Structure 1
Amino acid sequence: MMIGLTLDEIIAAKAEVQANLIETPVLPLTSARWDGVLPDCAGVTVKLELFQQTGSFKARGALLGIQRLNAAQRAAGVVAASGGNHALGVSWAAKAAGVDALITMPRATDPARIAGCEALGATVTLHDDMAAAFAAMNDAADAGRALMHPFEAAHMILGAATCGHEYAMQAPQIDTYVIPIGGGGMISGMACAIKQVNPDAQVIGVEPFGADSMSQSFAAGEPVRIEKVATIADSLGAPLAMPLTYGVARANVERIVQIADREMLAAMDIYQQNLRITAEPACAASLAAVLGPLKDDLAGRQVGIIACGSNISLTRYAELMEGL
């Protein structure tokens, strides 16, 4: 279950890919622009992972996974299902390795993300929704392509763990981390690494109300599938939790809070006004949680949030912000 993923394994994985990745910066939110915005706590720091290769943390695990393919897998090509960030990460890593990539995406995907994958040489097929995209991914894997699952894979957890380790080393004062949850790959990997660097640190997950498969899984004591995904945060819109990521998250995450789409929109606007960052909804989820359901729970805490990625067209951003 990888619950026992060791610090040595995480450090080795980071060494394996670091030449091709960016050590993304951390920023204490201490400027006057944040006065009266942040909750009453000892401090808030953000890791700007949106500056990673392809614009999100997904590049870490995708690169690790493709670098570890054997010769036969490389020759067969890879397949991934994604609404954007993972698709771009796999497309980029595959191009770098000279591996053919097939990406299955929902028809509603932001056209800029589709174009980004195609510009990197990937073949993109469009499907009715994410469930159909996942089904097409599995069919292609059954036909021989190497599966690059967006979250339920050891290399994706390990890739996210390199981000968690990096963050914990960059900002050792942080004692409370607030991390978004989609399928659970990011929070499981980051939390596993963070807990080994600082066992006393608290890790809190964040899910949209309309995509709360991990919250429901924690409550049920096992991975569950939700009936419907309904959130503007397409990068957090996993329809189910799965055993690997659920197990690692359950072992390392203290609690999960939920946020409304409107809270993400408000946080997106704050990032734009204060940092001039054009954040997609998932990118703003940590900040939304700190300003919303967690605002009264952080007194005296050194809080770490993550801007996990942002691949959004200005057209889509403007459409979303009309709802604020």
Structure 2
Amino acid sequence: MLQLDDVLAARDRVDDVARHTPLDYSNTFSAMTGAEVHLKHECFQRTGSFKIRGATNRIRTLTDEEQAAGVVTASAGNHAQGVALAASRSDVDAKVVMPETAPISKRKATQSYGAEVVLRGVDYDEAQEFAHHLEAEEGRTYVHAFDDEYIMAGQGTIGLEITDTLPEVDTVVVPIGGGGLISGIATAVKAHDPDIRVVGVQAEGASSVAGALEKGQPTAVDSVDTIADGIAVRKVGEQTFPVVQERVDEVVTVSDDEIATAVVLLLERGKTLAEGAGAVPLAALLEGKFDYETDEVVAPVLSGGNIDLNLLSTVIMRGLVDQGRYVKVRTVLKDRPGALNHLLDVVAEERANIYAIQHDRTNRDIAMNATEVELDLETHDADHVDRLLERIREEGFEVTVLNGPRQYQ
């Protein structure tokens, strides 16, 4: 099983490639939670995520013959970019197989770090199958995204940085996908102090670890569905699982809405862009998914910041809805002069801002002398939404919330 010496050796190998990322105290999130929150900004790492650490350690432990033959991997995200840069910095030829549907921004980023990108297959599984074909045909070494002790050890250097910078840390909160990141970090911090608690966080739509822990062996979920694509893994690794069993104290899950809220708060209050997977530790802390004491020193690991811009716009809107800062409502008005003005006057008096109005007289579910109106509104918070809806109903309008804070979902 992975040991501290493996992580210490990895630190020496990756030190000239991976950045020592900041571990910053957050006044905002400390005030919001009552804990003493220190954010580990791995989203500021080279290539935008922690993956460069494990990839560098794996490539630098190859034999001369293996380095000469090159490496290959399959990925459509952070691992692709990490392997590309790690190989380039070690003068090793790299091929990265990506699905044909991979975003062009990620393809270009991977190429810019020095790898040859091969497009093959409609999804990750087909890309991985072809990568293993290249491994056999060209004699390359396959660099696994997480289920490899050298990968795990490289990721564990984050744990060394946390305990070096913040030796008094009580709890470290880490995302879990395949388990490589949390295995390395848990090994490092538990060696520093066995009483440091390690909490793993999965997305509800990709929560394979809870079932695996219950059954005592890695168990695949039928499918994954989450905005946290960096941890959308169907099955924890065979090598990572025993480390998780032994060294991770608790595993919790968060919903996509909770993840979106954390992403928005990091942007707005922390001035930090985190991808969905990178935000899950903070989401778990904000939502009280695990118990902690007042003033407990907590270090959430923001594992990456590579989020697709189209997805980011959706995540921001979902986060605003969840906080009660954006709401969509529907009502039916008598189709007569002044009816709409009356409704809009109520909205204005309650200090809600109108983004959009949709007006429909053709709906067969309403009377011929009525019109259906949908309003997209900017509001302050969930309490403001409650007050606004109460006032609208007091004025005689029947109103339905189409999209709003959690209590209306």
CA distance in 2, matches of 1:11, 1:50: 22
Contact 2:261–2:283 (CA under 8 A) maintained in structure 1? yes
Tell me what 1:204 maps to. 199
Secondary structure in structure 2 of the residue aligned to 1:256: strand
SS where residue 205 of structure 1 aligns? strand
1:62 to 31, 51, 55: 55
Asked if residue 141 in structure 1 is aligned to residue 135 in structure 2, the reply is yes
> CA offsets per residue over residues 97-129 of structure 1, 9 Å max, x none?
222211123344333222100112322224322
The equivalent position to 1:270 in structure 2, one of 243, 265, 269, is 265
- What is the match of residue 310 of structure 1? 305
Paired with 1:153 and 1:258, the residues of 2 have a C-alpha distance of 24
Partner residue of 2:156?
Answer: 161
Equivalence for 1:20: 17
2:287 counterpart of 1:292: yes
Asked if 1:219 is matched to 2:194, the reply is: no
Tell me, yes or no, if structure 1 residue 100 matches structure 2 residue 93: yes
Determine if the alignment matches structure 1 residue 251 to structure 2 residue 246: yes
Whether 1:52 and 2:45 are equivalent positions in the alignment is yes
Distance in 2 (CA, whole Å) between partners of 1:251 and 1:196 is: 13
Distance 1:92 1:137, change over 3 A: same
- Equivalent residues, number: 317
The 8 Å contact of residues 39 and 296 in structure 1, kept in 2 or not, is answered as no
Question: Structure 1 CA distance, aligned partners of 2:213 and 2:290?
Answer: 22
Bigger drift between 288-297 and 87-96 goes to 288-297
Largest Rg, 1 or 2: 2
Tell me the CA shift for residue 173 of structure 1: 1.8
What displacement does 1:296 show? 4.9
Structure 1 residue 83 and structure 2 residue 76: aligned?
Answer: yes
> Cα gap change, 1:34/1:251 in structure 2, threshold over 3 Å: closer, same or farther?
closer
- For residues 249-274 of structure 1, the C-alpha deviation after alignment (integer angstroms, 9 at most, x for no partner) is 11100110001111111100001001
CA distance in 2, matches of 1:68, 1:220: 34
Q: Is the 8 A contact 1:257 1:293 kept in 2?
A: no
Identity fraction in percent: 34
Does the 8 Å CA contact 1:55/1:309 hold for their aligned counterparts?
A: yes
Secondary structure of the structure 2 residue equivalent to 1:174 = coil
What letter matches 2:6 in structure 1? E
Which amino acid is the alignment partner of residue 33 of structure 2?
P
CA contact under 8 A between 2:120 and 2:130: conserved in structure 1? Answer: no
* SS of match in other structure, 1:322: helix
Give yes or no for the alignment of 1:110 onto 2:107.
no
CA deviations over 1:200-225 (Å, ceiling 9, x no partner): 11101000011112222111110111
SS at 1:80's partner residue? strand
Question: Are the equivalent residues in 2 in contact too, given 1:39–1:290 (CA < 8 A)?
Answer: yes
Secondary structure of the equivalent of 1:182?
coil
For residues 282 and 108 of structure 1, do their structure 2 counterparts lie closer, same or farther at Cα, with a shift above 3 Å needed?
A: farther
Decide which structure has greater strand share.
2
- Residue 261 of structure 1 aligns with which residue? 256
| TM value normalised by structure 2 | 0.74
Aligned: 1:228 with 2:223: yes
> Would the alpha carbon gap of residues 163 and 313 (structure 1) be closer, same or farther in structure 2, given more than 3 Å must change?
same
Mapped contact 2:173–2:298 kept (Cα < 8 A): yes
Structure 1 contact 283–308 (Cα < 8 Å) conserved: yes
Bigger relative CO (Cα 8 Å, ≥ 6 apart): 1
Secondary structure in structure 2 of the residue aligned to 1:27: strand
Query: Residue 94 of structure 1: CA displacement?
Result: 1.1
| 169, 174, 177: which one aligns with 2:169 | 174
The one-letter code matched in structure 2 to 1:19 is D
> Alignment partner for residue 125 of structure 2, among 115, 125, 131?
131
* Structure 1 position 151 matched with structure 2 position 146: yes
- The one-letter amino acid of 1:186's match is L
Which residue type is aligned with residue 122 of structure 2? D
- Segments of structure 2 that go 5 or more residues without pairing to the other structure are 320-409
Contact kept in structure 1, 2:182 and 2:200, CA below 8 Å: yes
> What secondary structure is seen at the aligned counterpart in 2 of 1:13?
helix
**Contact 1:39–1:295 (CA<8 Å) still a contact in 2?**
no
User: What's the CA shift for 1:300?
Assistant: 4.5
The 3 A distance-change label for structure 1 pair 55 and 76 is same
> Which residue does 2:330 correspond to in 1?
none
Q: Any idea what SS the aligned residue of 1:19 has?
A: coil
Q: Please tell me the residue identity of whatever aligns with 2:156.
A: A
Could you tell me whether the CA contact under 8 Å between 1:208 and 1:261 is conserved in 2?
A: yes
Question: How far apart in 2 are the matches of 1:283 and 1:217?
Answer: 22
Which runs of 5 or more structure 1 residues have no equivalent in the other structure?
A: none
CA offset digits 1:75-102 (Å, max 9, x no partner): 2221112231111000001112222211
Number of the residue aligned with 1:193 = 188
Shift of 1:13: 1.9
TM-superposed CA distance for 1:289, in Å, is 0.6
**2:333 paired residue number:** none
